[in-house]
Amino acid sequence: GPAGHSPPPGPLAALGTLCVARLHDRGRHGAWLGAALVPVAGALWLTVELGLRRGSEGANAWGADPTEV
């Protein structure tokens, strides 16, 4: 049935957690993940924001910059 085509909840939750952590690294609230609900534009914006842009410069509320040695 249709339930057989649902993504497994474990990996989906892990992906959500990683995306929220990356949004925090960019200085944004995790609620911005809701942008994925906007067809095409939301997915495009999240791809750019999470995958192509650098994190905030230096340490932020969620820890030190991992690229600084």
- Are the CB atoms for 33 and 23 separated by under 8 Å? yes
CA–CA dist 68, 9 (Å, integer): 34
pTM: 0.72
pLDDT, tens digit, 9 for 90 and up, residues 12-54: 899 999 999 889 888 889 999 999 899 999 999 999 999 998 8
- Environment class of residue 23 by beta-carbon count within 10 Å: exposed (0-12), middle (13-18) or buried (19+)? buried
pLDDT of residue 3: 60
